[in-house]
Structure 1
Amino acid sequence: MLKLKYLFFNKNLAVDGIRRWKTEMNNVEELLPYFRISSNAIYPFLNNDKICFLRLAPVEEKIKDNEYGEIEFIQYLREHNFSALTPLPSLNGQLIEIIKTEWGTYFASVFERVEGVPIEDTDLNDNIIFVYGKTLGTLHRLASDFRPSVKKWTYEDVLEWIEKELGLYGAQTAAMNEYIEVKNLLETLPKNKKNFGLVHYDFEPDNIFYDVETETCNVIDFEDGIYHWFALDIEQVFDSLAEFMDEERVAVARKMFLNGYCTEFEISSDMLALLPVFRRFIDLYSYTRIMHSTSEILDNEPDWLNKIKEKLNWKKNSILAKWS
């Protein structure tokens, strides 16, 4: 989640980034108004009649090994026939360009649009949920054998960052107490190849595209991945499904998801029993990221930005209420 100062549309910055991948710049601005900015700035554009996405990540907000580690993981997955998005090399043959501009320095990368529709836009029937689970099981099976040359950060690294940020922004005592409890709980958990590895971290419906023709899922947005217990991804999915279904349907969908998952990778009942612990880690991380994102007050903040801040503060306070 970026600091709010990075949420503004910047056409000139986008064009500057796109020209590193595209020599013919006619009509390049046609799709730019459909940009999206959250954890990064994402600008769509046409390249050889295909829709592609330029991703701009401010260097001061990111960790270099996480950016390069993401690309390495995606390439590994694709080499093993996993349906992950395709990164495209720049005109210089680089999958990541570090660009220095008058607006700052950015990690720039480009990805092709994947086939299918966001799984949240389907009817989420039993077969689709089964395939959804099977896809995550495949991802975790491959991740369990992944040996990177560039390693993304671990949950321990995240906890160190959380401690620093909570101290920097004067977090409430309840947040610091939660940090200590979560850290101590995670230190007691077993780690092995079957339960721990590189997780997607954001395997929620808006990052999964279902292809009706092939009845498969295509996965995007691996940047938030960290080394953690695989069950964390399952907790993220279970929580997100509740946004689209009533309680009775959620129970059935979760079972169907696990059925699909277990065709590819084993998950123990002990790990599933720890989902509430992983939810606490997720909440703590989300709380801290919101604090970081909203830490600066900008001059003449527009109404749309104030609405975003209201939404973020509501989420932060909802998490804080769990600890009070």
Structure 2
Amino acid sequence: MLKLEYLHNNEELASMLLGNWEFDPESLHLFQYYRISSNAVYPFENAGENQLLRFAPAAEKRKDNVRAELEFIAYLRECGYGVLEAVASNTGEKLVEADTPWGAYYASVFKRVGGVQLGSTELSDHILYKYGEALGQLHQLSSEYTPVEAARWSHKDVLEWMLSVLAEFPWEEAAVAEARLLIEYFSGQPVTTKNYGLTHYDFELDNVFYDEGTDTISAIDFDDAMYHWYAADIEQALDSLRILRSAAEQSEHEPEWLITLRSRLAGACAAKASRFSGPIR
């Protein structure tokens, strides 16, 4: 999740970044359906085809992680796995670095996948089987994958990043202790090509699509992908940290929705923190 200061609709910025790609000018009204979380995503059309502009402040991302994500997605497509297809910019790049009046940004464009989000289906036995099968296929392909130019970060990198962020919040002693406990715990776990590799790390219903016509599954949003055990289960702890960092900075004259969101996020953090120091299962 981005810092709250970046969660504002900025169609001027989106238009500036989109200028690096071909697009249908009359489709920019679709910008009203934007969403912002760990990235800003703005829909548009190119030659009548639905596509998505994704961008984020360079200060919020690691360039090697973004490049590695695009490389892994390309690998999965080459293997016939259903994922988003990145679209080359006017200069042939799939990752554009742009200096804007709002700072430096990384931007990419993707074609939409077919089908509907699993969360919008009835989740029949067949669809659930396909869902599980797709995750198994992803892990199998991951176990055979060797990065060429860049590698995603690992669970170790994430835990070290957590400690670096928490250094700015000295009162979060329980969270620091929990991160160090996880570092120690995971250091003693076996790592093999069968149980550890590049995971999606957010393979949830809203990031997986089912196409009834082709009876296929496609996955989107590999932004959280990392090297981890395939059975990775520290999502909630990581989410809590993102919430803490995102909500830390406040500005004057915040809109009511932002004040309400900040309060809800603080409550979520408190609930998660109450489980610190519990047994690791």
Shared fold (TM-score, shorter chain, > 0.5): yes
Per the alignment, residue 226 of structure 2 pairs with: 226
Instruction: Give the superposition deviation at 1:171.
Output: 4.1
CA distance in 1, matches of 2:171, 2:130: 41
CA distance in 2, matches of 1:46, 1:206: 22
Unaligned ranges ≥5, structure 2: none
CA distance in 2, matches of 1:288, 1:35: 25
Per the alignment, residue 139 of structure 2 pairs with: 140
Instruction: Give the superposition deviation at 1:307.
Output: 2.4
Per the alignment, residue 104 of structure 2 pairs with: 105
Number of equivalences: 276
Of Structure 1 and Structure 2, the greater helix share is in 1
Unaligned ranges ≥5, structure 1: 233-277
Structure 2 residue 52 is matched with structure 1 residue 30: no
Per the alignment, residue 57 of structure 1 pairs with: 56
SS in 1 for 2:274: helix
Are 2:86 and 2:108, in contact at CA under 8 Å, matched by a contact in 1? yes
Per the alignment, residue 291 of structure 1 pairs with: 244
Residue by residue, what CA displacement relative to the aligned partner does 1:172-223 show, whole Å, maximum 9, x if unpaired? 2221221122111101100010000000011000000111112211110011
Per the alignment, residue 208 of structure 2 pairs with: 208
- The letter for the 2-side match of 1:165 is V
Per the alignment, residue 70 of structure 1 pairs with: 69
- The letter for the 2-side match of 1:129 is L
CA distance in 1, matches of 2:203, 2:45: 27
Instruction: Give the superposition deviation at 1:310.
Output: 2.3
Instruction: Give the superposition deviation at 1:283.
Output: 2.5
SS in 1 for 2:236: helix
Residue by residue, what CA displacement relative to the aligned partner does 1:61-119 show, whole Å, maximum 9, x if unpaired? 00011000000000000000000111100011100000110001111100011111110
CA distance in 1, matches of 2:24, 2:177: 53
Q: TM-score, normalising length from structure 1?
A: 0.83
Structure 2 residue 272 is matched with structure 1 residue 323: no
Identity among equivalent pairs (%): 41
Structure 2 residue 278 is matched with structure 1 residue 300: no
Q: TM-score, normalising length from structure 2?
A: 0.95
CA distance in 2, matches of 1:309, 1:48: 40
Per the alignment, residue 239 of structure 1 pairs with: none
- The letter for the 1-side match of 2:80 is N
CA distance in 2, matches of 1:310, 1:27: 39
SS in 2 for 1:44: strand
Are 1:169 and 1:295, in contact at CA under 8 Å, matched by a contact in 2? no
- The letter for the 1-side match of 2:186 is L
SS in 2 for 1:27: helix
Per the alignment, residue 235 of structure 1 pairs with: none
SS in 2 for 1:158: helix
Per the alignment, residue 3 of structure 1 pairs with: 3
Extract structure 1 runs of 4+ deviating beyond 3 A.
none
Per the alignment, residue 96 of structure 1 pairs with: 95
CA distance in 1, matches of 2:25, 2:241: 42
Per the alignment, residue 158 of structure 1 pairs with: 158
Residue by residue, what CA displacement relative to the aligned partner does 1:133-184 show, whole Å, maximum 9, x if unpaired? 0000000000001100210111111111111111212242221221122111
CA distance in 1, matches of 2:210, 2:188: 38
- The letter for the 1-side match of 2:157 is D
